[in-house]
Structure 1
Amino acid sequence: MDGTGEEGYAAFLAERRGEILQRIAEAAARAGRDPAEVALLAVSKTVGVAEVDLAWRAGYRAFGENRPQELARKLKGAAAYPEMAGARFDMIGNLQTNKVREVVGNVALIHSVSSARLAEAISRRGAARGVTSDVLLEVNVSGEQSKSGFSPDGARAALDAILALPAVSVRGLMAMAPAHDMDAARRVFSGLRELRDELAARSGMALPVLSCGMSDDFPIAVEEGSTIVRLGRTVFDPSYVLG
């Protein structure tokens, strides 16, 4: 929260949300899509519970966390704000198998299933708790060494076994694009969509969710088929210039 205080920050959040939704609508129109097909996930990993509450009041309903311990802190803190009882939290960051117990049953969607081993751990924990986790397979479409996730061929090879797990429901795919390269970002997003289409046709599963697009590239992601954009700085940082 910046120096303008709570009232000023709340006004910023509401105004910025309107600007983001307008950008999403424009990108959807360019692609002949309905903007209602695109969900806006506010990545709250760098802010506190008070800021999340203000974002809720501004109209945000879904939030993303990238660390299990921060997710737990947000969930505990949100209990102090009864009006946030319907808030959705997703896990979007790298998840280690030994942290699965902190996530399963506490989030609406796990975006970052990056290996068959992790999917198996999520399923085991879910089976023990009697819950099924909705998940996305994270795919490293660009092949960057710094990014985690299945290779496209790895996703093809692992899909059937993951679909067979008893307490995991694969809802689609997730990817991150290279930073500061809009042409490369478009190739990643279109490649993710094409891979989803291929896997859906092969498996007979709809796989409707494509989680891609962040602060710098979300309009391109929407043009290429994204159904969830994950925005952090754009939502919460008043110094971020929305291009």
Structure 2
Amino acid sequence: MPDQSQPSATEPGASGSVAARLAVVRDRIAAAAVAAGRDPAEVRLLVATKTQTPEAVLEALAAGVDLIGENRVQELVAKAPAVADRVAAGALQVHMIGHLQRNKINQVLATATGLETLDSLELAQAVSDRCVRNGRTGDHALDVMVQVNVTGEESKYGVRPDDAVPLAIAAAALPGLRLTGFMTIGARLPDPTGDGAADDGSAEDAVRAGFARLRAVRDEVRASGAPGTSAAVNLSMGMTGDLELAIAEGATIVRVGTAVFGPRVTATTL
């Protein structure tokens, strides 16, 4: 299975409590938004909980987190009981941000409020069918985003940008789905702690170009006026190492894990 994680840079606030690290991340988001001439309130923080224990997740929620994302269905299901009350009360949203296989759709629908990794019409139709079967339509439809591979890297999931517009328009018309935007994983940035040559800016330019491409896809879909596309406003892009670049290019959601929880552990204790 391709590895969708992004190597992290050295993090400010890498030590200390989850609440302290969250404060640093929120400051980064606000500063990046202001630098881009945007209102910080336009950018939402999704805390990626991959490999974290339910206890660590609850610590983040206690610090005010209201949106989390999980990469693996097994972890999504395992952590669901710990956050079920908050989800039921509407105080927490849970997004699936990892690749979804069709044989695990029911597990995701039982635990997630959103899916950011829709990458084929076949998957969209299968998710729609299950939503309809479960009565999850109308106001209870599942929020979905189309995942776009803006870098063309084989190691990343997502539909090609040229195919993203027709897929999004088709998915938006399916019952049980509410198209809310688009998601991508940016190109890799050099590790600033490494011994390689200093970046001349070309790597950042490549990352920004990918994010700009996702924004163009979103704008084209919304401009189409096709049924169900008016709510497709979100751009889920930018992670621990490149969130400033993503915000400069219009991100409305940034997905951050390492900067909140510290370096990932190698195994999950649930």
Which bracket does the TM-score occupy, shorter chain normalised?
Answer: 0.7 to 0.9
Tell me which moved more, 219-228 or 99-108: 99-108
Distance 2:15 2:77 in 1: 24
Q: Which amino acid aligns with 2:74?
A: Q
Measured at CA, do residues 111 and 82 of structure 1 come closer, stay the same or move farther in structure 2, by a change above 3 Å?
Answer: closer
In the alignment, structure 1 residue 202 sits paired with structure 2 residue 227: no
1:54 CA displacement = 0.9
In the alignment, structure 1 residue 156 sits paired with structure 2 residue 181: no
- How many residues matched? 230
Measured at CA, do residues 201 and 84 of structure 1 come closer, stay the same or move farther in structure 2, by a change above 3 Å?
Answer: closer
Asked if 2 retains the 8 angstrom alpha-carbon contact of 1:88 and 1:107, the reply is yes
Distance 2:35 2:212 in 1: 15
**Other-structure match for 1:174:** 183
Q: Which has the higher helix share?
A: 1
**Other-structure match for 1:111:** 116
1:193 CA displacement = 0.7
Measured at CA, do residues 117 and 158 of structure 1 come closer, stay the same or move farther in structure 2, by a change above 3 Å?
Answer: same
1:83 CA displacement = 11
**Other-structure match for 2:38:** 33
Report SS of the residue matched to 1:104: helix
Q: Deviations over 1:56-91 (max 9, x none)?
A: 112212111011111110002335x87996332110
Asked if 1 retains the 8 angstrom alpha-carbon contact of 2:236 and 2:251, the reply is yes
**Other-structure match for 1:69:** 74
**Other-structure match for 2:18:** 13
Asked if 1 retains the 8 angstrom alpha-carbon contact of 2:42 and 2:252, the reply is yes
Report SS of the residue matched to 1:229: strand
Asked if 1 retains the 8 angstrom alpha-carbon contact of 2:150 and 2:160, the reply is yes
Distance 2:177 2:39 in 1: 29
In the alignment, structure 1 residue 189 sits paired with structure 2 residue 211: yes
Q: TM-score, normalised by structure 1?
A: 0.88
Report SS of the residue matched to 2:211: helix
**Other-structure match for 1:216:** 241
Q: Which amino acid aligns with 2:100?
A: L
Distance 2:86 2:46 in 1: 20
Q: Which amino acid aligns with 1:199?
A: V
Asked if 1 retains the 8 angstrom alpha-carbon contact of 2:114 and 2:143, the reply is yes
1:49 CA displacement = 0.3
1:9-158 paired onto structure 2 within 5 Å? 12-78=17-83, 86-131=91-136, 132-158=141-167
Q: Deviations over 1:81-131 (max 9, x none)?
A: 879963321100000111111112522210000111111111011000011
Measured at CA, do residues 178 and 188 of structure 1 come closer, stay the same or move farther in structure 2, by a change above 3 Å?
Answer: same
1:44 CA displacement = 0.6
Asked if 1 retains the 8 angstrom alpha-carbon contact of 2:15 and 2:262, the reply is no
Measured at CA, do residues 235 and 84 of structure 1 come closer, stay the same or move farther in structure 2, by a change above 3 Å?
Answer: farther
Q: Deviations over 1:25-52 (max 9, x none)?
A: 1111121111111110110111100001
Distance 1:170 1:238 in 2: 33
Asked if 2 retains the 8 angstrom alpha-carbon contact of 1:105 and 1:133, the reply is no
Consecutive unaligned residues of structure 2, counting only runs of 5 or more, are: 1-13, 190-202, 265-270
Measured at CA, do residues 13 and 198 of structure 1 come closer, stay the same or move farther in structure 2, by a change above 3 Å?
Answer: same
Q: TM-score, normalised by structure 2?
A: 0.80
**Other-structure match for 1:5:** none
RMSD: 2.2
Asked if 1 retains the 8 angstrom alpha-carbon contact of 2:96 and 2:117, the reply is yes
Higher relative contact order (CA 8 A, sep 6+): 2
Distance 2:215 2:151 in 1: 13
Report SS of the residue matched to 1:89: strand
Counting aligned pairs with the same residue, the percent is: 40
**Other-structure match for 1:6:** none
